[in-house]
Structure 1
Amino acid sequence: MLPERCRCWGRAADCTAQNLSTVPRVSPNVTQLDLKRNKIRTLLDNQFSGCWSLRKLFLQNNKIRVISPKAFAGLSQLRMLFLSHNRISRLLPHTFEDLNRLEWLILDNNRIARITPATFSGLRSLYFLYMLNNSLAKIPDGSLCTETPKLSWLELEGNRIRAVRGAIFQQCRELTVLVLRRNRLQWIQSGAFSGLSRLVELDLSLNGLDELPPSLFRGLAALQQLNISYNPLKEICPSQFESLPQLLSLSLEGLEIPNIHNVTFRGLANLSHIYFKKFQYCSSAPHVRSCKPNTDGISSFEHLLANIILRVFVWVIACITCLGNLCVICMRSCVVTESSAHTMAIKSLCCADSLMGIYLFVIGAFDLKYSGEYNRHAQGWMASMPCQLVGSLAMLSSEVSVLLLTYMTLEKYFSIVFPFSYRRAGRRQTASVLAAIWLLGLSLSVVPLCCKESFGNYYGRNGVCFPLQSELGERPSARGFSTTIYLGLNLAAFITIVFAYTGMFYSIRITTCRTAESSVCPRDVAIAKRFFFIVFTDALCWIPIFLLKLLSLLQVEIPGTITSWVVIFILPINSALNPILYTITTAPFQEKVKGCLHVRRPELSSRQSFMLVVL
């Protein structure tokens, strides 16, 4: 006996998507009945009477709201019951009382708000209980397993459970998998899991737990997988995992762990997989075979600089930066120019830029030192004094260079735009300004070192010891400090330089337009090209840094790979090119060098000398 619209294969009846509003009568020898995707709203008492042989019953994707207490009466042979994707909001006590051989009960994606131990009375053989995405606000105070002694897998993900009390799982001695993921847990009583001696997997991720009792996992001797990711935990007790000798996988993703220490994971001898929020945390568990993330885009397990290109070019750029600036210092010292104050400023700029080269040399040296085993030293390196000092050296170089370029640009602007009313700074005045710039740059670079309580490990956030982007766990004072520097001081300096060079070119253009010389156009083009390259290199260096800082403040996730390329290739651009732009390629300086080398060359006219921009 089977409805006409249903199909039959052996002892299985398939009535899927037949617009049925009631349960059809089927032959007593049917062992599998599929009623998915129909319009059944109510399961009445004795609805399946006569289906004595039924072992699997599929009722997913209907519109079931009410299940009568005796709806499943007589189904003593039923092994699997699927009631997912319905509208069930309440399960009356003893609803499943006759299902003493039921092993799987699937109730996911309903609206169930409350359960009691009596809800599952009679389910003495239940192995798998799946209640994903319901509306449970609490688990009953009594033991959940009083009526289900064989329960092995309990899935409660996506509910509204706020607390777990001590007696809930007291009699769940057979439980091997417990999933409480994506609830609203704020509190778990100490000892709540102590009776789960056979538990293999525990998932507490994506909840609101801000602390874990130190003895929470005591008694879980068989536990192999633990997930506490994405909770607002303030810290993890060093002895938190010491009672988990069999743990194989530990997930701590999304957690800021300020007190992380090697002791926390030292007792986990069998741990083979661990998952953190930050790559730097992996150094706290060096014995674990697989740690994720295995890179922060800057460093890897083996190398301080993960990318081979970075490991090579850190030396190339360091050499170019240092040699170029040292060459200019020597040439400026040997070649006497008319403006000693300008020469003093150029030398000061070269000294600042040389510090960036020294910074890159140090990073390259420690990359070689830790080659092949960086993970073992990462935590110590980022917290070490050498890392702090080299980071402050890079900050000193960057800020002094920015301030010097701004000062030199303004000096040039006023001398060109207001040639008759502006009086150029003398040697003593220039020396005072340079000293003030260096003092300000030094102050900015050492403040994070002197105020550890406010700034934390400011320079030691990554392997290259240079903080370009803000992080969620960053202290407010450190965030405000870096924002003021990059989006305040440096951005203002960049805008000043752009407008100053625009003003200079406009002034020179106006002057040349008033003359009738045939060489006006070529000279304008030469000056325009020179100004363009100066502004372009500044933009190439600073705009990516501005964007990086702004995006990090907006909490946009920035791959660490970008940071590493910015630090090695973009940040030193000005330091490497400044000697060329401000000294070696300038016509007056070339004339002086050629004169010293006894190279004959016609003298420049007075008008040409005025029009050439001496940088």
Structure 2
Amino acid sequence: MGRLDTPFSSTQEGDGLNSKLLVNHLSPAQSSPGVGSCSTGWFLCTSTGDVCLEQRFLCDQKEDCPDGEDEIDNCVPYEADSNLTVKILEKEILAPDNITRCDLTRVPPECYCRLGTHLVCRNAHLTSIPQDLDPNVTSLLLGNNSIVLSPDDLQPYPRLNQIFLDHNQITALPAGVFSGLPLVKVFLSHNLLRDDLKSLQGLSSLSRPSYLHLCHNLISNIDLVLDLVPGLLSLWINYSPVTMTNRTVSRNAQSLTELWMEGNRVQLTPGAFRGFTNLESLYLRYNGITDVGSRAFEDLRSLKDLELNYNLIRHLRSDSFLGLETLVSLNLDHNPLLTIHANAFKPLGNLASLWMGNVELSMELLMNISTHPRDETHLANLTHLIFKRFRYCGYFPHVPDCYPKADGVSSFQHLLVRLELRVGVWIVSLLTLIGNLMVLGGRVFSRDDNKILSLFIRNLAVADLLTGLYLLVIAVKDIEFRARYSDHAYYWMTSWQCTITGVLAMTSSEVSVLILSFMSVERWLCITWPLAAPKLSLGGAKMALTFIWFTGISLALAPVLYYRGQQQRFYGTNGLCFPLHLDDPWVPGWLYSGLLFVGLNQLGVILILVSYTGMFYSIRRTRANTPLSLGDREFAMRFFFIVFTDCLCWTPIIVLRIMALAEVDLRPEFYAYVVVVLLPINSALNPFLYTFTTTKFRAQIRRFLSGRGVCLCVWVPRQDTDSETTRTSFFRSATLKLTNGRDLLPALNGTAPIHTVDDTTVAEVSRSSLGKDEVVKVETRL
């Protein structure tokens, strides 16, 4: 990798540990503020104090710091996705013998015992609480029955601390049903409880339970429940008709620390959560919330976790999160956010985890989240960020753990994240440049009798040359941004240099497809109808090429002009500046990109495939009575490879683009390999297929080497054969001079034998009249 332009000693680039770590030799006075002794985007392995780790390698399930602290410390944002996750992860793992152990002396036949004193009677067709049980039972799991509760049903079990009565169609809880029991967890989900004292009266007999589950009932008045259960810590009331409007605030609301209200009808109006001064976790997923009202959370002075994911929130105003100074985790996943005020996140000074997965964010929104015009420490405490796109992480270089870690093309540190991509872009670029420069040089310095064909070949080489230039720019920028891409990503993708680079690639792509399509259709017409097809003149060829270049450049420049007023320009949606959009199919300009790659280019592929298939069929038909010579086999192989490379280049791209639009989950790596390797394959191979493999080129090389005294003793020239191009308008005039058109048309149309007088073929007449050197002059590439 060489010396890095960073305050670290260099390490060898690769996939091993050394590529992830840099040993720091700075004094503390030289360190960057906020990241210890590591610069922006690099984070300190604190156990050693001198090893810095790239952001993308933190929390990637591989231990990269010497003592593995990058996968231990703060990898799981415990405040996010509820404290329940933490409790599950920290739950004791019991041995199988302990799970199946039973300490109860009396167990009904329809039930079974586990964990010593837990009795499980699910789906046992019970209509009442089982009687005559062992009084030492501590947990009753009675779900999926039809139990009707009586006031004294649970009194014989004074040690009962947990009861599950879910899925029992319970309509009422009798008064005193839970009296005297040390119940900590009560599960009453999926029943028919309602908002009236008769239905909920039994809750008042609970003595300070920790968990109360009332999900999937008909309860809408949360304050009524809190009035009946003083001291409740955690209330689960998911998928119920709760709205939080027109509340009569319960005096017991202040005791609640965790509130689950998923799938309700909650609206975030001012004062919606009055009284919940000690609430630490609030979960509001799937509520259809469209707006975060002014001061809706202002009473939540102790809140740490807030989940607003899977709602319909479109706008975040400056006062949307007022009062949430203690908030540590905010989840906004799966919301169609359109606007975020620059001050929206300003009150969240302690925010450590921000979840915005599956949220499309424009550059303006990202700037409003990451910076504040009057506060340089905006969201300075963030340690975990979850986004939909890797490129969003470039706006938060100070955040240690930002997901996703890469987009298959770029990482937080590198424009091209994979070593094979860095090598591949140079190889493909140099092959494309050298091959097409050789074609242009050969056409300039050698006399060619066919000016029309030479004109097309030169233009095709120029178009392919632009692809080589595009890849060369990407390769150079990859070296320039190495190990500090995050510092340049935003400015590079929004720059005119990136736009110009993308225009080069798009122009090359479209002009190449159009030229190949035009050449293919013209050859097909001339071979299938050699006399009926109109003859292409030099002036006509120039006009056609002028139109093709004008069309290609216009197609490339049109989105530049349309999106010129936007920061997120058409070509600046990724570091490669190419608008294929496999990883991000719905960015601005996706429709235009789809029309080009799925519409125009697909039409070009179809025309090339149909044209060459028609040409091959016509030639095979006219030669049905002639043995297949060595030249014919070579001709057939060149046919095959021309069509094969065209299809190999564009068909997968078209298919992948359609899959991206259909929202098929594609591996992010596809994008890089398509743009760096698959897309330029035609530009790199065209010189070999259309020039370097032809008889004429080989003859010129033989003459060039022979003229310089190079021995060609082992290079035995074979008899040249007529090529497909002698039947196109490029060479039709030379062929007609030999035959005067008398025998060629019937032979090509298959209506007469291909033999002339003395059983001589048209090709043989051509050779006998012109001689080998003259035939070489009219032989050219396909």
Task: Using structure 2 for the length normalisation, give the TM-score.
Answer: 0.72
Aligned counterpart for 2:581 among listed residues 465, 469, 472: 469
Report the CA distance between 1:60 and its aligned residue: 3.7
1:411-490 equivalences under 5 Å are 411-422=522-533, 424-452=535-563, 457-469=569-581, 471=584, 473-475=586-588, 478-490=589-601
In the other structure, the counterpart of 2:206 is: 99
Change (3 A) 1:35 1:564: closer
In the other structure, the counterpart of 2:278 is: 174
Q: Measure, in 2, the Cα distance between the counterparts of 1:506 and 1:80.
A: 80
Aligned counterpart for 1:153 among listed residues 251, 258, 266: 258
In the other structure, the counterpart of 1:248 is: 352
Report the CA distance between 1:69 and its aligned residue: 4.3
Aligned counterpart for 2:300 among listed residues 178, 181, 196: 196
In the other structure, the counterpart of 1:121 is: 227
Q: Structure 1 regions of 5+ residues with no counterpart?
A: none
Aligned counterpart for 2:269 among listed residues 151, 165, 170: 165
1:570 aligns with 2:678: yes
Q: Measure, in 2, the Cα distance between the counterparts of 1:331 and 1:38.
A: 84
CA contact (8 A) 2:506 2:556 kept: yes
Q: Measure, in 2, the Cα distance between the counterparts of 1:81 and 1:387.
A: 61
In the other structure, the counterpart of 2:385 is: 274
Report the CA distance between 1:163 and its aligned residue: 0.9
Which residue identity lines up with residue 487 of structure 1 in the other structure?
Answer: V
- Matched position secondary structure for 1:579: helix
- Matched position secondary structure for 1:44: coil
Aligned counterpart for 2:142 among listed residues 36, 39, 53: 36
CA contact (8 A) 1:383 1:460 kept: yes
Q: Measure, in 1, the Cα distance between the counterparts of 2:116 and 2:441.
A: 96
In the other structure, the counterpart of 1:237 is: 341
Deviations 1:322-373 (A, max 9, x none): 0010011111222212201211111111111011000000001111111111
Report the CA distance between 1:254 and its aligned residue: 1.4
Report the CA distance between 1:606 and its aligned residue: 5.1
Change (3 A) 1:107 1:68: closer
In the other structure, the counterpart of 1:556 is: 664
Q: Measure, in 1, the Cα distance between the counterparts of 2:459 and 2:117.
A: 88
In the other structure, the counterpart of 1:344 is: 455
**Which range moved further: 227-236 or 530-539?**
227-236
State the Cα RMSD in Å: 2.8
Aligned counterpart for 1:206 among listed residues 307, 310, 316: 310
- Matched position secondary structure for 1:410: helix
CA contact (8 A) 1:205 1:227 kept: yes
Change (3 A) 1:350 1:606: farther
Report the CA distance between 1:239 and its aligned residue: 1.5
Q: Measure, in 1, the Cα distance between the counterparts of 2:686 and 2:106.
A: 88
1:291 aligns with 2:402: yes
- Matched position secondary structure for 1:129: strand
Q: Measure, in 2, the Cα distance between the counterparts of 1:537 and 1:491.
A: 14
Change (3 A) 1:197 1:421: same
Aligned counterpart for 2:240 among listed residues 125, 129, 135: 135
CA contact (8 A) 1:11 1:30 kept: no
1:588 aligns with 2:676: no
- Matched position secondary structure for 1:317: helix
Change (3 A) 1:114 1:598: same
Number of residue pairs matched by the alignment: 605
1:265 aligns with 2:377: no
Q: Measure, in 1, the Cα distance between the counterparts of 2:114 and 2:406.
A: 54
- Matched position secondary structure for 1:291: strand
Q: Structure 2 regions of 5+ residues with no counterpart?
A: 1-104, 372-377, 721-763, 768-774
Aligned counterpart for 2:154 among listed residues 48, 60, 64: 48
Deviations 1:392-445 (A, max 9, x none): 100001111111112222333233333334454233322222122111111111
Q: Measure, in 2, the Cα distance between the counterparts of 1:472 and 1:146.
A: 51
Report the CA distance between 1:77 and its aligned residue: 3.7
Q: Measure, in 2, the Cα distance between the counterparts of 1:514 and 1:77.
A: 100
Report the CA distance between 1:169 and its aligned residue: 1.7
In the other structure, the counterpart of 1:493 is: 604
Aligned counterpart for 2:634 among listed residues 516, 526, 533: 526
CA contact (8 A) 2:235 2:260 kept: yes
In the other structure, the counterpart of 1:74 is: 179
Which residue identity lines up with residue 154 of structure 2 in the other structure?
Answer: F
Which residue identity lines up with residue 147 of structure 2 in the other structure?
Answer: R
Report the CA distance between 1:168 and its aligned residue: 3.1
Report the CA distance between 1:218 and its aligned residue: 1.5
Report the CA distance between 1:138 and its aligned residue: 1.6
- Matched position secondary structure for 2:498: helix
In the other structure, the counterpart of 1:303 is: 414
**Which range moved further: 380-389 or 147-156?**
147-156
Which residue identity lines up with residue 118 of structure 1 in the other structure?
Answer: L
**Which range moved further: 448-457 or 192-201?**
448-457
Change (3 A) 1:194 1:534: same
Q: Measure, in 1, the Cα distance between the counterparts of 2:718 and 2:144.
A: 98
Change (3 A) 1:454 1:545: farther
CA contact (8 A) 2:126 2:147 kept: no
1:312 aligns with 2:423: yes
1:361 aligns with 2:467: no
Q: Measure, in 2, the Cα distance between the counterparts of 1:154 and 1:195.
A: 14
Q: Measure, in 2, the Cα distance between the counterparts of 1:275 and 1:290.
A: 8
Q: Measure, in 2, the Cα distance between the counterparts of 1:437 and 1:76.
A: 86
Report the CA distance between 1:91 and its aligned residue: 5.0
Q: Measure, in 1, the Cα distance between the counterparts of 2:159 and 2:296.
A: 38
**Which range moved further: 305-314 or 117-126?**
117-126
CA contact (8 A) 2:141 2:163 kept: yes
Q: Measure, in 2, the Cα distance between the counterparts of 1:349 and 1:9.
A: 77
Report the CA distance between 1:607 and its aligned residue: 4.3
Report the CA distance between 1:504 and its aligned residue: 1.6
Q: Measure, in 1, the Cα distance between the counterparts of 2:295 and 2:502.
A: 46
Q: Measure, in 2, the Cα distance between the counterparts of 1:554 and 1:443.
A: 28
CA contact (8 A) 1:36 1:59 kept: yes
**Which range moved further: 592-601 or 331-340?**
592-601
Q: Measure, in 1, the Cα distance between the counterparts of 2:154 and 2:395.
A: 59
Which residue identity lines up with residue 576 of structure 2 in the other structure?
Answer: V
CA contact (8 A) 1:321 1:575 kept: yes
Percent of aligned positions that are identical: 32
Task: Using structure 1 for the length normalisation, give the TM-score.
Answer: 0.91
CA contact (8 A) 1:43 1:71 kept: no
CA contact (8 A) 2:161 2:182 kept: no
Q: Measure, in 2, the Cα distance between the counterparts of 1:614 and 1:306.
A: 39
CA contact (8 A) 1:274 1:288 kept: yes
CA contact (8 A) 2:231 2:252 kept: no
CA contact (8 A) 1:143 1:170 kept: no
1:506-545 equivalences under 5 Å are 506-515=617-626, 518=627, 520-545=628-653
Report the CA distance between 1:578 and its aligned residue: 0.5
CA contact (8 A) 2:151 2:174 kept: yes
**Which range moved further: 300-309 or 30-39?**
30-39
